[in-house]
Amino acid sequence: MPLLLLLLPVIAVALDTDKATGLIKNPGWEQVRAHCGGCHSHALVTNQRADRKTWLDIIRWMQETQNLWQLQPQVEMQILDYLAATYAPQPRLRRAPIPPGLMPKAERTVQ
Residues in contact with ligand HEC by the rule CB under 6 A: 35-36, 38-40, 44-45, 48, 58-59, 62, 66-68, 79
Residue (29 or 45) nearer to ligand HEC, CB: 45
Residue (55 or 104) nearer to ligand HEC, CB: 55
Residue (7 or 52) nearer to ligand HEC, CB: 52
- Smallest gap from Cβ 57 to ligand HEC, in A, equals 9
- Smallest gap from Cβ 47 to ligand HEC, in A, equals 8
Question: Are 25 and 18 contacting, i.e. CB atoms less than 8 angstroms apart?
Answer: yes
Residue (25 or 35) nearer to ligand HEC, CB: 35
- Smallest gap from Cβ 19 to ligand HEC, in A, equals 19
DSSP string for the chain: -HHHHHHHHHHHHHT-B-TTT--B--TTHHHHHHHSSSSS-THHHHT----HHHHHHHHHHHHHHS-PPPPPHHHHHHHHHHHHHHSPPPPPSSPPPPPGGGSPPPSS---
